[in-house]
Copies of this chain bind each other. A is one copy, B any other.
Amino acid sequence: MQTETTLLLLDHIGVFFFAISGFLAAGERNLDLFGGYIIAFITAFGGGTLRDILLNTDVAWMQSLSHVSVVIIGATVGLLFKKHLKKLRKTFFIFDTLGISFFTIVGVQKGLAHDQIAVTAIFLGMISATFGGLFRDVLCNEIPLIFRKEIYAIPCLTGAGFYITGDYFGFGSTTWLLTSCVALIAIFRTCAVRYNWKMPIINELKL
């Protein structure tokens, strides 16, 4: 019960920060207020929506007034405090990273719950965490960030693979497996940004 509540809380926190970052991104791209709110929604829910559509199941947020409310509140916080928020880069980074880490594991779990094969469940985890940002970039008419610059998806894939392995050995949904996978993704991504790890550009590779 307590774990359930913790997970639900983490989920809402992730959605809240995704909504803020989506709204701020829309502001930077000169969108109007309406565009800001829509991009906030799409950043927060886009990945999970694609996951649920691929699983041919009900889309999770559609039945959840609390999730929808959290996005509206997040976007409004983004609107009211946009100047201050831009200074809080570190705080942001922490919550954004936690959001990604958490969404990945939720996605993997949902994939497994729907009897997907391991590799598909791993993809679903990565899609849950990163495709909201991908849709945001496509709608803002940019090449998605995750294809160009940031080590973003690799930590998700790694953490998802670790979770699948743990689940295979019977530790699925245990608190320690959840915690260690979220930590693994968060630490991997933090190191990637801290030490400026980058994926090589295909055309610069000499093979």
Residues of A near any B CB (own CB < 8 A): 23, 26-36, 38-39, 49, 53-54, 56-59, 62-63, 65, 68, 79-83, 116-117, 119-120, 134, 138-144, 146-149, 153-154, 198-203, 205, 207
Question: A147 contacts which chain B residues (CB < 8 A)?
Answer: 26, 31-32, 34-35, 38-39, 139
Residue of B with least CB distance to A52: B56
9 pairs of residues in contact across A and B, judged by CB atoms under 8 Å? A27-B203, A32-B202, A34-B199, A35-B148, A63-B120, A80-B207, A82-B207, A139-B147, A141-B141
Question: A140 contacts which chain B residues (CB < 8 A)?
Answer: 143
- Chain B proximity of A88: nearest CB distance (Å): 16
List the number of copies, as a whole number. Answer: 3
- Chain B proximity of A159: nearest CB distance (Å): 15
Q: Are B59 and A58 in contact (CB under 8 A)?
A: no
> Which among A33, A35, A79, A80 has the greatest number of chain B C-beta atoms within 10 A?
A35
**Which A-B residue pairs are the 10 nearest by beta carbons?**
A35-B147, A32-B199, A27-B202, A31-B147, A141-B143, A62-B120, A33-B199, A34-B199, A36-B202, A27-B203
Q: Check A202/B33 contact, CB under 8 A, given A56-B59, A147-B39.
A: yes
Question: A39 contacts which chain B residues (CB < 8 A)?
Answer: 147
Residue of B with least CB distance to A154: B34
Rounded to whole angstroms, the CA-CA distance of A30 and B149 in the bound complex is 11
Q: Are B57 and A62 in contact (CB under 8 A)?
A: no
